[in-house]
Structure 1
Amino acid sequence: MENKLRLSKSFKLLKISVILVFLGRAWQFIFWDAPFRTFFWNENLLKPFVETIIGIDWQTYANSPKLDVFIDSAVLAFGILYLLSAIAVILYSKFERITKYIIILGGIGLLLLAYLLMSDRFYQFSQFFEYSIQFSIPFIFVFYHKKFIQSYLILILKMIIAVVFIAHGLYAVGYYPVPGYFLGMVIDVLGFTEQGARNFLLVVGVLDFIGAILIFVPKIVKYALIYLAIWGFLTSLARLVAGFSFDFFWELLHLNLYQTIYRLPHGILPIIVLLKLKNK
């Protein structure tokens, strides 16, 4: 009975995580924007297609009002897809045959989004892998009860967690240029100087690497997962706390809350692994 309860808890947490990712991205796409323009204005990639297949010159294409309307419509369409995917996850147990295809389609949309975000950062591979948790868990959720997934679930989740934190760490230590919003959040939340923020991120990045390695060490895995769970929640909440002001409470909530929502699974997944290890 105890084992079944733990399995149920881990599956419920996974379900919550998938809902959070889809809802957060739906909020972003419906009310704000997405990096679709980076793709559709990529001259090196699309110019041969536009001028050869469509038959118009690049400048006419890039400056076309119709293109702008198309991009806005595509962003909204993906936002609706993510919203439908979140609803599909909620209704999954009752309408599995239909909802699983919506969830898979939503997962493909998240995979495409990770690629677009990577292209927006000049194809820095870490940018793609930083979203591994977000685009992987819809597929893990749909195939959760398959024998292969159950046999290797702990290993799969550990690998996804490790990839995300290593990718995050590469930015924090400065292997790639440290993002300005990383520095901004540290300065706003902790009150550091810019150099102090860089030093703090360097330490955090090293800890990301260490934590990602230690989750594969049997005697230490529990403590590494607890650290990564705490850090995952803190980095998610930092999006909401940084630059917060009661004078613009609702505006800032609308602007930043969705970024926290779709990152919360970064803290939830280590907890799921802890539950699975106890069950095992």
Structure 2
Amino acid sequence: MLLCAMKSKQIELLLKISVFLIFLGRSLQHLFWDAPYRTFFWDESILQPIVEGIFNTSWQDYATSNKTDSAIQNGIKINGLLYLIAAISALVIKKTNIKWFRIPITLGGISLVLLTLLMTKEKFYHFAQFFEHSIQFGLPFVLLYQYNKKSSTIRLIFILNILIALTFFSHGLYAFGFYPVPGKFVDMVIQIFGFSEETAITFLYIAGILDFIIAILIFIPKLRVYALWYAFLWGLLTAFARIVANFYWDFPIQSIHQNLYQVLYRIPHGLTPLLVILILKKYYYEIKKTAFSDGLLKKLKI
């Protein structure tokens, strides 16, 4: 009983830390850097009728106005504060205070979905761009689901596996070359390993195939633990690669500051597979314990 309780605490803590890192990373991005909100607010095809028809302002004046840009920038900062509050809420939430802390987590989760939609719009509506962030916008809702009285372990494992599969498969589509291979992917491989551009593209091609395989294997009971361990390691490596590939000894603090937020919200790409491994271990432990108890009761004829 004590061992089972300890495992539950570990799972809850790991899930909280994962959600915290996602929100913290996005918070740092919004507070210190930028986010793609202008891809919507400067979209003439969408907003021109509203700007000119309702606000009686020419599109040229709207798009070139310092007030417009300041309003967008202030909105980004406000969203950054929302993510920061959500990050803190993710750490302190528990069954006794869920009534209050679920609000910023829910709002933060919805904001992550909207942010992902904007990034997808910015990348020409590639569906992989949206689903590549499944773990990031999905985990906050998984955290809230865990505190739901109707939650079940089997359903939780299935949801997490879906998020992992979507994230890795979508990432693989870019690495494999189904979509144009992002230049930053190639640059990171070259910077870290010293490969030529051609070798780097081949490396990414193989990594993409492995991503596809992992997305399938995690649903095969006899193989999923091995696949999840690989996903754990690969998820962490690709997260920290952002700093390793872009670190300059001449500017160490700036290098870390400039790339840290990307590392933070990607670390859960590795922690989520680890989370599933822990949940599976707890689940099988409970099954064995129940089976042992039932067998013992039958022997004792109780």
Give TM-score, length-normalised by structure 2: 0.90
Counterpart of 2:171 in structure 1: which amino acid?
A: H
Is 2:135 the counterpart of 1:133?
A: yes
Give, in angstroms, the shift of residue 53 of structure 1.
2.2
Counterpart of 2:73 in structure 1: which amino acid?
A: D
- How far apart, in 1, do the equivalents of 2:4 and 2:135 lie? 25
- How far apart, in 2, do the equivalents of 1:73 and 1:149 lie? 41
Deviations 1:131-162 (A, max 9, x none): 11111111111121322354400000000000
Is 2:184 the counterpart of 1:181?
A: yes
Counterpart of 1:142 in structure 2: which amino acid?
A: L
- How far apart, in 2, do the equivalents of 1:149 and 1:251 lie? 44
Identity, % of aligned pairs?
48
In the alignment, what sits opposite 1:97? Answer: 99
Contact residue 144 and residue 150 of structure 1 kept, 8 A: no
Across the aligned residues of Structure 1 and Structure 2, the Cα RMSD in angstroms comes to 1.2
Any residues of structure 2 matched to 1:52-67 within 5 Å, and which? 52-67=53-68
Which structure 1 residue ranges, 5 or more long, are not aligned?
none
- How far apart, in 2, do the equivalents of 1:212 and 1:90 lie? 29
Counterpart of 2:81 in structure 1: which amino acid?
A: I
Contact residue 246 and residue 259 of structure 2 kept, 8 A: no
Q: 1:228 aligns with which of 208, 231, 256?
A: 231
- How far apart, in 2, do the equivalents of 1:220 and 1:255 lie? 38
In the alignment, what sits opposite 2:14? Answer: 13
- How far apart, in 1, do the equivalents of 2:201 and 2:54 lie? 48
Deviations 1:219-258 (A, max 9, x none): 1011000001100000000001003122100010110111
SS in 2 for 1:178: coil
In the alignment, what sits opposite 1:267? Answer: 270
How many equivalent pairs are there?
Answer: 280
Counterpart of 2:131 in structure 1: which amino acid?
A: F
Deviations 1:160-189 (A, max 9, x none): 000000010000011111111101100000
Contact residue 112 and residue 136 of structure 2 kept, 8 A: yes
Counterpart of 2:28 in structure 1: which amino acid?
A: W
- How far apart, in 1, do the equivalents of 2:39 and 2:138 lie? 23
Any residues of structure 2 matched to 1:51-200 within 5 Å, and which? 51-93=52-94, 95-146=97-148, 147-200=150-203
SS in 1 for 2:54: helix
- How far apart, in 1, do the equivalents of 2:277 and 2:57 lie? 56
- How far apart, in 1, do the equivalents of 2:86 and 2:80 lie? 10
SS in 1 for 2:247: coil
Deviations 1:177-210 (A, max 9, x none): 1111101100000111111111000000000000
SS in 2 for 1:247: coil
Which structure 2 residue ranges, 5 or more long, are not aligned?
284-302
Between structure 1 and structure 2, the one with the greater Rg is: 2
